[in-house]
Structure 1
Amino acid sequence: MASTLRGATSSVCRSCLRLLRTPPPSRLVLIPGRRLFHTSPGWRAFGEAYPNTPSAPDVAATPPERPPHIRPLFNLPSARRSSLRLSRQDLVRVEERLEDRDLPGGYAAWLEVSDPRHRDGEPISEQVTDEVIKPVVELLLEGLIEEGPQHSELPPAAEFLETLRSMALANDSQYRLLLTSMLRQGKGPELVSPVLDSAIQYYKEDHFRAGARRQTVEGEEETSEIDRDMLWSSLRWGFRLASSPSAIASTIYLAFLHTMEVATQHHKDLERTLFSFPQLPNAPFLGKYMAHHYFEEEMQTRLVKLADKFEFKKLLTVPALLQRATAQYTDGGRLKDYYDSLRTQAEDTGIPFSEENFMVFVMAFMTLTEREVAIEIWNDMARSGIFPKPRSWNMLLTEAGRLQDRDRSCLQAVWKTIITSGVIPDVILWTTRIHALLMADRKAEGMKVLKDMQKSGLKPTTATINAVLDGLLKNGYMNEAKKTLLVATGMGIKSDLTTYNTMLRALLRSRNFDEAISLLREMQAAGIDADIVTATTVLDGLYKNSPTKPDLTKVRNLLEYMEAAGVPANEVTFTTIIEGLLETGNEQAAQDIWMIMEFKGLKPTPATYTTVIRYAFSKGDLLGVEKLWQQVEANRVPKDQKLWTRLAVGYAQMGEVERLRSVMAAMGEEGRILPLSAYTLILRALEKWELYNDVKEIVKDALEKDMISSDGSSRGPVERMFWQTLERVAEGAVLMDLKAQGLVTV
């Protein structure tokens, strides 16, 4: 535990060092990959190179040892096994005919050896596995794709692949081969759609029944079931690694775009899921991908346009994306131009603005105190035939409440608009208005509105009372809060956990410790379990408002009481409490909780150390960070991605470049790399310290790890943010130097 928790920078909690010497128990880790697919010799051996892929190293090289990392494996074998019992000689019969370019003969041989009656119970001394059979049937599939149409007696390739799927002999490569070929040949959407459906069905029903392989530190393996939704997680990795030989994801995406007009149920499911992907291949990448596979120029142009249209549809469908885009504007004029351009694009593409889209811009302009423009957009929504739902009115009212310090009349103006629009306010709208007034210390108005609400025939709910208590107690009206709570109880309005937490916080702040303990007992008697917020609130208030430091025994007793009241005593709970206490700057309380955690025999987790190291960095306590890291090493605490990232980014933000290099080197020894988002944070930190040469080294490192493309193209928002950050460093001078060195071609 860092000495920062005691406000000093010269010592560390000795009790931590005492208990951290205990060896950790056995743990399970997922078998990972040290390098990304498209830089790993073991994976490159299974396919050709793709655009922007570095030249392949020796494919015979032994793949590096795989360190712990959690992600779905793209080429997991199917859990289903075929019922075929074939010998090596059976496969040779098929291969020989295919090598002689006798496709009909090869197919006939396959029909014979795959017939269940072929062996008729005859034992096989050297039966081959499914993984040996699949490359042979893939050669046959390739032949049916290229030459099959010339032989009327042979089935279509799509029909043959569907047969393979039913026999549990399908794989990623076969679907990529067939879909790419059909798109390259310009097959119509109605022909491609069934193959796409089959590919999705293959992933859902077959591919991920295999589960994830997990390996213990003792070297044993276990298998866990993976939900069908892991298809989408796998595709996400495929999009991120779309230049790899396992680029089935990009192929499926192109097939999806091509078949948008033939939307089956599988297609609709895939569309909904693609909306959640942060890194779909962008139009430039898809263009390179299709050029590499010799797509017709007309098809390339069509699919790139559809990709742009889908990205726009995604922007308008996922509110968070549009919110993120509007948040970048601090000038009302530029935001209005952006709004107008999107409306024009929506009309051109036939994708209408939804209520959520309009509300994003309404809220953005309200935040910029551009009330007139916000009302104008609200009217645009009405003119579009959209009658706002109560949720939209509530959002508008909430934002008006936040703006009271800058525009006191805004809240009343919005309420008047609600009434004149013919909307009958419900309990939620009344509650929002009351809370906004009380939070702005307009007590008389707020309590009057509470009475007006009751006069309108609406009874306050528990949420209403909680809002009233929050607003009153924030401004120190303890007596009014107690009276309100008594009245509410008399009306039969039950208190909930939020009610108790709100009152507890206020009582402890005002040093009414006896009342706080009584309230805790009352809460327990009412059958309401305390939560971590309750525990943190009580501990924080006890330490900050007590005239003397609380006795550690009393704190332990309090935690035991909280445990009996519903707060579990485990590592996660203690870490969350420590984090909550540090967020309020309560170092002494966090220090004691750490000691109590050790006293109970609970060991700090990677998350615990991440929390405290983050706090130490925020205090500028490098010595505390170093001592904490020594504890991590001494106790052999597993170093997860968040812990490594926090350490690396923290050193960068402190300008400690040598320590940053040491961390990245240590990560390399463990086969780990920082996420690209961390590289972006490091760029910003180094720019602040004007360490421009070190910025160049970070960029070179990202290039060497193939995390970014040297041409500046981005496969998603994370890469786009990296390049935008780099372009701003030293007003573009660093990027110009990298260009001059031939490292990038942006």
Structure 2
Amino acid sequence: MCRATSFPDDLGEYRPLLQALGSASSKAQLNQAAVRHIELKLKGQTQDDALASAELSQRLCRLHRASVLETPSQTDSTTAETATTAPESFEQKAKLLISNVSAAADKQNLDRLERLWAQAQEMLMDDSSRTPEHAPSTIRLYEGFLVAFFQLRRPQSGLQVWNSMLQSGFEPTIRTWNVMMKGCHISRDIHIMESMWHSMRNSGIQPDVVSWSTRIYGHFRIGEPRDGMSALEEMGRDWLNAQNRRRLKSGSLEDTSEVPKPDTVILNSAISALRGKKANQIPNVLAWSRRFNIEPDVATYNALLAISLGGGQATDAANILQRMAAANIQPNSSTFTILVDSMLSTTLDGMTQDEQKDKIMDLIASFEGCGMKVDVQGYALIIDRMLKDHNNLKAARSVLAHMTTRKVACTPHIYTILMTHYFDANPPELLAADALWNDIQSSRQEETMDVIFYDRMVEGFARHGDVGRTMAFLNRMSKEGKRPGWLAMTAVVQCLARSHEWDRVGQIVMDCHKQEGLLSVGLRGKKGQKDFWEYVGRLAENELYGSEHGREVFAIVEAQRAALGM
């Protein structure tokens, strides 16, 4: 776009944007990023997180002051020496376990993760795990489980890891505190996060940049902007006070390494947290940043660009791109995605599907002509818009073919977009869905599919009355330790009800309630939870009334309604 002479003429209204980007990207030689598009959004606590906020806060912050790691006795030393000379050392075992934990979290396999935690507990019972030699590996192991459980939205399981670590005599490191505070974002409880913050400070640990950015992001995104600004001011005061102490002591004005200086990481964290309805607070953050001579980077400009275009402020967006060029900040693939997102909203209406396809491919070629490479997130955006907004499968397939020539692999998100299109088509294209699933299996990618993909498979086949494949994919989720969402389970029960399979409906309801059988790893999120129990309640009062599990289902529904305040 920008310098390419073949750029489509009818995008004239965007010419200021394009010219500014062209200037900014005049020397760009950008790397292609393999960006995994994660749609698993954090939408509050699950049933697993049933602890009341006050109780959870108290338990999280109850730091048992364990003794410092003891010097091992002669017996312990002998044990440690034996472990060291064994074919596989403690460090090697811990490293392998940490790798497996990370893989289980990436695959969203909660069942696998819980089995790994049971394995780790046996390993951590060995006295050698608490020797000074092995303590760093042990701490990393605990932290790996904390990250994984919070990633899978299991804060209570994370709490068990936390308590196990404290009871074993280990003091939290700065990374441990950061993980715990970030976990508080999942439960969306700023009071717990603040309690964790003050406990960390009281323990004598100095916050690092990650600590500050986690706290600031939490206040701006989940809490109140005034508390976010207060945290920014506090960070600034801490650094200035440290600078003054250092100057008085040594006469030097050099930065102190102990207290982090407000920087671009903090600025970007605050701006990204304020996107949406709180964007009017961004000028206050920028004014704060100027007091510390913080220079915006490409992530800063991208965030501001997205906010401007999202609000329909094309002139502001052009000015932002011009400032990027003046600061010699090179745009990246995220800049492309942001601009395309805005352009696709207005430029394709009224065109035939062939014209839309040609326009999209010209747009991609124009960006590549400027030296920019489209990343997988940008491709996913285009495919999604082509299918959802324009029902243009031909254009989507052209983009997929272009991805193949550029050796850009499909992600679970792109596969989910395609499957959703096939299921939503009228009539549904179930043969195409089957063919795509066969392609995924033949390329051995099925294990990389995430819970969102499997939810859509379950919902799609259930909606179209295919009981066999609905239950097959639900069973697959169970075997892989993936938790279905409530909307998917509602679709399952409705599918079974339409087929009058009342005993299976009753069994599914009991599994949901007791977390047994196909739902032994539980369910995910809260969206659709009340609707699920409302629907099951109607069945319990009518069709299920005289079934094998009717009375038990009715009691379960009453208990769930009471617990949810229905």
Please name the residue that 1:109 is paired with. none
Whole-Å Cα distance in 1 between the matches of residues 423 and 306 of structure 2?
30
The alpha carbon displacement at 1:612 in A equals 5.1
Please name the residue that 2:522 is paired with. 721
Please name the residue that 1:351 is paired with. 170
Please name the residue that 1:586 is paired with. 389
Whole-Å Cα distance in 1 between the matches of residues 332 and 216 of structure 2?
26
Which ranges of structure 2 fall in alignment gaps of 5 or more residues? 1-74, 105-109, 241-260, 527-531, 541-547, 554-566
Contact in 2 for aligned 1:400/1:411 (Cα 8 Å): yes
Whole-Å Cα distance in 2 between the matches of residues 418 and 608 of structure 1?
38
Contact in 2 for aligned 1:401/1:433 (Cα 8 Å): yes
Q: Residues 121-150 of structure 1: CA distance to partner in whole angstroms, max 9, x if unpaired? A: xxxxxxxxxxxxxxxxxxxxxxxxxxxxxx
Q: Residues 502-551 of structure 1: CA distance to partner in whole angstroms, max 9, x if unpaired? A: 66347x53xxxxxxxxxxxxxxxxxxxxxxxxxxxxxx457545666525
The alpha carbon displacement at 1:552 in A equals 4.2
Q: 1:342 to 1:636 in 2, by over 3 A?
A: closer
Superposition map of 1:294-693 within 5 A: 314=142, 318-322=146-150, 324=152, 348-359=167-178, 362=181, 374-403=193-222, 407-422=224-239, 425-433=262-270, 440=277, 446-447=282-283, 450=286, 453-490=289-326, 492-497=327-332, 500-501=335-336, 504-505=339-340, 508-509=342-343, 540=344, 544=348, 550=355, 552-561=357-366, 576-577=379-380, 580-582=383-385, 585-594=388-397, 610-611=415-416, 614-616=419-421, 619=424, 623-629=428-434, 641=446, 650-651=457-458, 655=462, 659-661=466-468, 675-677=479-481, 685-687=491-493, 693=503
Whole-Å Cα distance in 2 between the matches of residues 578 and 462 of structure 1?
20
Superposition map of 1:139-150 within 5 A: none
More off after superposition, 615-624 vs 475-484: 615-624
> Matched residue of 1:409: which SS?
helix
Match of 1:194 among 72, 82, 87: 82
Q: 1:416 to 1:581 in 2, by over 3 A?
A: same
Whole-Å Cα distance in 2 between the matches of residues 328 and 434 of structure 1?
30
Match of 1:260 among 114, 128, 146: 128
Whole-Å Cα distance in 1 between the matches of residues 118 and 219 of structure 2?
45
Query: Which amino acid in 2 is paired with 1:200?
Result: E
> Matched residue of 1:411: which SS?
helix
Q: 1:673 to 1:640 in 2, by over 3 A?
A: farther
Contact in 2 for aligned 1:326/1:361 (Cα 8 Å): no
Q: Residues 44-94 of structure 1: CA distance to partner in whole angstroms, max 9, x if unpaired? A: xxxxxxxxxxxxxxxxxxxxxxxxxxxxxxxxxxxxxxxxxxxxxxxxxxx
> Matched residue of 1:428: which SS?
helix
Whole-Å Cα distance in 2 between the matches of residues 349 and 694 of structure 1?
45
Whole-Å Cα distance in 1 between the matches of residues 444 and 393 of structure 2?
22
Contact in 1 for aligned 2:139/2:170 (Cα 8 Å): no
The alpha carbon displacement at 1:397 in A equals 1.7
Query: Which amino acid in 1 is paired with 2:479?
Result: P
Contact in 2 for aligned 1:465/1:488 (Cα 8 Å): yes
Contact in 2 for aligned 1:196/1:252 (Cα 8 Å): no
**Taking structure 2 as the reference length, what is the TM-score of the superposition?**
0.52
Whole-Å Cα distance in 2 between the matches of residues 636 and 361 of structure 1?
37
Q: 1:577 to 1:542 in 2, by over 3 A?
A: farther
Q: 1:578 to 1:378 in 2, by over 3 A?
A: closer
The alpha carbon displacement at 1:434 in A equals 5.2
Query: Which amino acid in 2 is paired with 1:467?
Result: A
Whole-Å Cα distance in 1 between the matches of residues 91 and 184 of structure 2?
44
The alpha carbon displacement at 1:592 in A equals 1.8
Superposition RMSD on alpha carbons, in Å? 6.3
Q: Residues 483-520 of structure 1: CA distance to partner in whole angstroms, max 9, x if unpaired? A: 34434533x332321574266347x53xxxxxxxxxxx
Superposition map of 1:720-739 within 5 A: 720-721=521-522
Whole-Å Cα distance in 2 between the matches of residues 356 and 231 of structure 1?
15
Contact in 1 for aligned 2:301/2:324 (Cα 8 Å): yes
Query: Which amino acid in 2 is paired with 1:686?
Result: V
Whole-Å Cα distance in 2 between the matches of residues 487 and 599 of structure 1?
32
Superposition map of 1:242-281 within 5 A: 254=122, 257-261=125-129, 271=138, 275=141
Whole-Å Cα distance in 1 between the matches of residues 465 and 175 of structure 2?
48
State the structure with bigger RCO (CA 8 A, min sep 6), 1 or 2. Answer: 2
> Matched residue of 2:220: which SS?
helix
Q: Residues 597-636 of structure 1: CA distance to partner in whole angstroms, max 9, x if unpaired? A: 5699989989799445531366376732234436877999
Q: 1:686 to 1:258 in 2, by over 3 A?
A: same
Query: Which amino acid in 1 is paired with 2:431?
Result: E
Please name the residue that 2:18 is paired with. none
Q: Residues 140-187 of structure 1: CA distance to partner in whole angstroms, max 9, x if unpaired? A: xxxxxxxxxxxxxxxxxxxxxxxxxxxxxxxxxxxxxxxxxxxxxxx9
Contact in 2 for aligned 1:652/1:686 (Cα 8 Å): yes
Contact in 2 for aligned 1:394/1:429 (Cα 8 Å): yes
More off after superposition, 620-629 vs 381-390: 620-629
Whole-Å Cα distance in 1 between the matches of residues 516 and 151 of structure 2?
25
Q: How many residues are matched?
A: 423
> Matched residue of 2:462: which SS?
coil
Query: Which amino acid in 1 is paired with 2:128?
Result: M
More off after superposition, 573-582 vs 394-403: 573-582
The alpha carbon displacement at 1:554 in A equals 4.8
Q: 1:504 to 1:719 in 2, by over 3 A?
A: same
The alpha carbon displacement at 1:323 in A equals 6.2
Q: Residues 73-116 of structure 1: CA distance to partner in whole angstroms, max 9, x if unpaired? A: xxxxxxxxxxxxxxxxxxxxxxxxxxxxxxxxxxxxxxxxxxxx
Contact in 1 for aligned 2:357/2:398 (Cα 8 Å): no
Q: 1:351 to 1:590 in 2, by over 3 A?
A: farther
Which ranges of structure 1 fall in alignment gaps of 5 or more residues? 1-186, 206-227, 242-246, 276-313, 330-337, 510-539, 702-709, 739-746
Whole-Å Cα distance in 2 between the matches of residues 724 and 373 of structure 1?
20
> Matched residue of 2:329: which SS?
coil
Contact in 1 for aligned 2:515/2:522 (Cα 8 Å): no
> Matched residue of 1:199: which SS?
coil
> Matched residue of 2:216: which SS?
helix
**Higher radius of gyration, 1 or 2:** 1
Whole-Å Cα distance in 1 between the matches of residues 474 and 523 of structure 2?
21
Contact in 1 for aligned 2:83/2:90 (Cα 8 Å): no
